Structure 1
Amino acid sequence: MMVDARPTAVQMKEITKRFPGIVANDAINLEVRKGEIHALLGENGAGKSTLMNILFGLYQPDEGEVWIHGKPVSISDPGHAIALGIGMIHQHFMLVEPFTVTQNIVLGLEPRRGWEVNLGLAAQQVGELSGKYGLKVDPHARVRDISVGMQQRVEILKTLYRGADILIFDEPTAVLTPQEIDELLKMMRRLAQEGKTILLITHKLREIMAVADRVTVIRRGKVVETLETAKTTPDELAAKMVGRQVRFEVVKKPARAETPVLEVKHVTASDERGVRILNQLSFEVRAGEILGIAGVEGNGQREIIEVITGLRRAESGEIRLGGQQMHGLSPRAIAEAGVGYIPEDRQKRGLILDFSVADNLVLKQYFQPAFQRFGFLKHAVIREHARQLIEDYDVRTPSEETKARALSGGNQQKAVIARELHSGPPLLIATQPTRGLDVGAIEFIHNRILEQRDQGKAVLLYSLELEEIMRLSDRIAVIYEGRIVGVVRPDDIDEREIGLMMSGHTRAEAEWEMEKMEAEKGGESHGQ
């Protein structure tokens, strides 16, 4: 049996961190070797991010010690962490959008020519750094004009420019497409091969199995176990993470689709630049079914959701809910007509982070007689309403009076879902409903969405996780360049065929391409 002789890069000993009403880290011990990719796995709210925020100097531990490269340190703030060679790539990027890639990367450490910033030299340094690590970026592009995946590269280069040899990735794939995720995992391997030490905060088992050397499982603030990835399985990790066996497959009854609830007919719309993004788009969602929208990001999925919910103006076409015309109504009027909406970004569009959990749970109802009288809120009623939803939807919070920003991502999402489903809307629009969530929360949310469908509600599901679309949907509408190229059933098509349709092929063209690929594969086998 070979013993890993690599020196220890990070050691955290008996780390404890308390917040009002909760022990986020409870005497945690963690050891990370130089040059390894070490994953931290746990449910939302398990304490992973808190532990890494301590390592990066954003929090101070109440008890315990941190050792870097064999020496004890007291990391007072992120500046001190950076001086120690620690960098953190946050889930929500810390970039100045109007600035160029180069300006963001060198911000605060700009090379100078006399009193002036030498942007030419800075761009050259960024180009050399990106070439060294295979992180291709355009040094002169403005951050607001580049993709999310490219923005993440900028964040990584920002830490490398500051000399980091210990990199913390906090849920780095939560906002990425499948193709961008694959690229990121390759980048991590390259960085580890260069001798960088990587700490990966995640709940995605597939990614851990693909890239991590070891994984430490944390549950409710305590370390459960540290395992070598090659000697474990996704099922074992999931069970250790949530404390029970997790069902990965979605079990659902056959759909009983009935009359159309939502009808979208020949809708056109443009993006912020005036470029046509929806082209005569048409589909319908029936009572008692889940219609999934599948497509490569940027083909109109987000825009059609915004049109339906009143957040974007359609230039032409019809949108009907239960036969009633919805075109031109305000978002509030659309919600009151019976549309529940789980937004893609729970922090920007789902919650008011500095409001309490209780207040967030009545954001769409506070004006109703049940919650106000003569313009004065019934605070006792609102608190009791919140306590009931917190219990029903397993929202883990110290209190209904806790601010929403203090909740983990998974519990923020559960709060949004509790608010949107409580009134039983005839139409539920779920956009990226499990983005950034752990397997336990995903299972819970999938079951809640299926409950809506089984109660005869219509569900429109938009997700960039094709696996999620395939599992939950009764029918799948494939979108390409703002139009529906085909509607298919998940039980008579596979992911490769849908992938071809997502690139613009019709169903017949996709089938022909699949047959052609199979024939070529058979010819190669015969030749061998």
Structure 2
Amino acid sequence: MPTPAISLKRINKRFGPVWANRDIDLTVMPGTIHGIVGENGAGKSTLMSILYGFYTADSGEIAINGKPLSIQSSQQAIDAGIGMVHQHFMLVETFSVLENVLLGAEEQSLLSKVLNHGRKALQRIGKAHGMEVDPDAIVGELPVGMQQRVEILKALYRGARILILDEPTGVLTPQEADRLFEILDQLRSNGVTILLITHKLREIMHICDQVSVMRQGEMVAHRRIVETSTDELANLMVGRKVGLTENKPSAQIGEARLTASGVHYTDSRGIERLHNIHLELRSGEILGVAGVAGNGQSELLNILSGAITPHEGELHLLTSKGEQTLLANESRDARLFRQLGVGHVPEDRLKQGLVPNFSASYNAILGYENDAKYGQHLLSTDNVVADTKTMMASFDVRPAIPELKTANFSGGNQQKLIIAREMMRQPDILIVGQPTRGVDIGAIEFIHQQLIKARDEGAAVLLVSVELEEILALSDRIIVMVDGRISGEVMPSQTNEQELGLLMSNAASTIRETLEVTLPEEVSP
């Protein structure tokens, strides 16, 4: 047997009363792709952070390629040949590819020599692994899949032979994900060892050699891929049988709750992000919005929730709390929309949905702190805590400690807290962005059930997601956004992930040949 690339024995890590890693053993063989799966809060990220030097284990042993190693910092991990590609890229968008790869890894003081050496090394590494990229391209102008490639090249440039990838396909189209898997397969063939953290069990089954399952801080199973299934892995992760498909009754569609007409939006840099958006959102339906990240979905969510104001066009809202037409450039804020019965689950929970340093109880009332029951001028802490406990119990937020700082919750439990805050008030219109990003399969099942329940109770739900499986499973209608425009509309029963991916790429002529969709004249071939 070859010497393991990674050997972890009896790894323990506590954060106060929370035992994040409990006697973890993990062996990863060289030149393999090893999946790590588990619920949010299972301890996966903590374990990978110990391996990459973000945290130091309280106890236990680490060996890399058979050599015992005490990893006290990320630099020590990098020196040991370990690289990590984070879910949220660590790139300077205004820098070139070459400048991003070299940043922090300069070996000489003379810039011209650094750039010349780096350019040659980058081209050599890219060619060796089938990952060529223009070294002079500006990172912010590259598609997401290419940006991810830059992150991988950064790690390889620093000598990584062990590569940790955290939710690598979360922002990719199906076509980009397929290309990533080709790259990972090539890296494996070249002897690179890969640790893959993902909640997408189909990806685990497709690309991995082995998989390890964590639950509640412990390692509960190791499996060879040829000896397991998605059903078994899901059950091991959650500790119970999990439904992997959504069975929802037919939609009982009612009146239009929200109508957008001729909406245009230009950002502070003068770039038009939304162009001539027309849509109608009706009670009793889930309207899915598919698209590659950065094609106007974020601006659409912010306009429909009242966070920003369009420069042209109008919105018409009709809810049980009133009717209002809002014209372009008319003064508004998110508070007005909440008063009209609009709930908003933002796509970035940390930037828009939460204040991480606040307690869970304070985050549970954000946006609603002026409600009379909370005391308005002087917060009624008892009422706030009582409501938070109800939310935590109803939406299975763990740990159920209202006083705990929100930063100490896992990403999935932070997400459930936001969804509880918005849905417990039974809004007539629910604007939802990326509801299950970075969320485990058990929480995904629960969140999907709640969205379907809201629809069935008459809410009008707009769902933005980069997860095409999620869009297809939940939506009653689907629109696709490309370059700030609605490029087409299709019924879920008439399409699949690959065809949606083509529509997301604005391959209008190809789409027209493969399925019936409505395409605006301006994008017709």
Alignment of 1:49-198 (within 5 A): 49-112=45-108, 114=110, 118-198=114-194
1:112 Cα deviation from its structure 2 partner: 2.9
Q: Bigger shift: 131-140 or 70-79?
A: 131-140
Matching residue's letter, 1:326 = L
**What's the counterpart of residue 522 of structure 2?**
none
1:313 Cα deviation from its structure 2 partner: 3.1
User: C-alpha separation between the residues in 2 aligned to 1:49 and 1:510?
Assistant: 39
1:175 Cα deviation from its structure 2 partner: 2.8
Matching residue's letter, 1:364 = G
The answer as to whether partners of 2:175 and 2:501 remain within 8 angstroms in 1 is no
User: C-alpha separation between the residues in 2 aligned to 1:109 and 1:311?
Assistant: 40
- Give per-residue Cα distances to partners, 1:260-299, cap 9 Å, x unaligned: 1011112222345434343322121111111112334444
The 3 A distance-change label for structure 1 pair 499 and 37 is closer
**What's the counterpart of residue 243 of structure 2?**
247
Alignment of 1:452-491 (within 5 A): 452-491=454-493
The 3 A distance-change label for structure 1 pair 493 and 78 is closer
Instruction: Say whether residues 1:7 and 2:3 are aligned partners.
Output: yes
The answer as to whether partners of 1:342 and 1:431 remain within 8 angstroms in 2 is yes
Task: State percent identity of aligned pairs.
Answer: 46
The correspondence for 2:15, drawn from 12, 16, 19, is: 19
Structure 1 residue runs without a partner (length 5+): 516-528
User: C-alpha separation between the residues in 1 aligned to 2:12 and 2:186?
Assistant: 33
Instruction: Say whether residues 1:400 and 2:402 are aligned partners.
Output: yes
The 3 A distance-change label for structure 1 pair 263 and 238 is same
Give the match's secondary structure for 1:317: strand
Give TM-score scaled by structure 1 length. Answer: 0.90
Matching residue's letter, 1:34 = P
**What's the counterpart of residue 521 of structure 2?**
none
User: C-alpha separation between the residues in 2 aligned to 1:36 and 1:112?
Assistant: 34
The answer as to whether partners of 1:24 and 1:50 remain within 8 angstroms in 2 is yes
User: C-alpha separation between the residues in 2 aligned to 1:75 and 1:494?
Assistant: 45
Give TM-score scaled by structure 2 length. Answer: 0.91
Instruction: Say whether residues 1:367 and 2:370 are aligned partners.
Output: yes
Alignment of 1:23-34 (within 5 A): 23-34=19-30
The answer as to whether partners of 1:485 and 1:505 remain within 8 angstroms in 2 is no
Displacement over 4 Å in runs of 4+ = 113-117, 492-506, 508-515
Give the match's secondary structure for 1:258: coil
**What's the counterpart of residue 326 of structure 1?**
326
**What's the counterpart of residue 261 of structure 1?**
257
- Give per-residue Cα distances to partners, 1:167-219, cap 9 Å, x unaligned: 11122222333222222222111111111111111221011011110001111
Structure 2 residue runs without a partner (length 5+): 517-525
1:509 Cα deviation from its structure 2 partner: 8.5
User: C-alpha separation between the residues in 1 aligned to 2:510 and 2:79?
Assistant: 56
**What's the counterpart of residue 448 of structure 2?**
446
Matching residue's letter, 2:38 = G
**What's the counterpart of residue 390 of structure 2?**
388
Matching residue's letter, 1:452 = A
Give the match's secondary structure for 2:301: helix
Matching residue's letter, 1:324 = Q
User: C-alpha separation between the residues in 2 aligned to 1:108 and 1:489?
Assistant: 48
The answer as to whether partners of 1:217 and 1:225 remain within 8 angstroms in 2 is yes
Instruction: Say whether residues 1:217 and 2:210 are aligned partners.
Output: no
Matching residue's letter, 2:194 = I
The 3 A distance-change label for structure 1 pair 501 and 131 is closer
Q: Bigger shift: 379-388 or 412-421?
A: 379-388
The 3 A distance-change label for structure 1 pair 245 and 343 is same
**What's the counterpart of residue 345 of structure 2?**
342
User: C-alpha separation between the residues in 2 aligned to 1:498 and 1:54?
Assistant: 39
User: C-alpha separation between the residues in 2 aligned to 1:483 and 1:474?
Assistant: 20
Give the match's secondary structure for 1:137: coil
User: C-alpha separation between the residues in 2 aligned to 1:477 and 1:330?
Assistant: 26
The 3 A distance-change label for structure 1 pair 502 and 29 is closer
The correspondence for 1:355, drawn from 358, 377, 380, is: 358
User: C-alpha separation between the residues in 1 aligned to 2:418 and 2:172?
Assistant: 22
Give the match's secondary structure for 2:310: coil
Give the match's secondary structure for 1:75: coil
1:7 Cα deviation from its structure 2 partner: 2.3
Matching residue's letter, 1:433 = P
1:415 Cα deviation from its structure 2 partner: 0.9
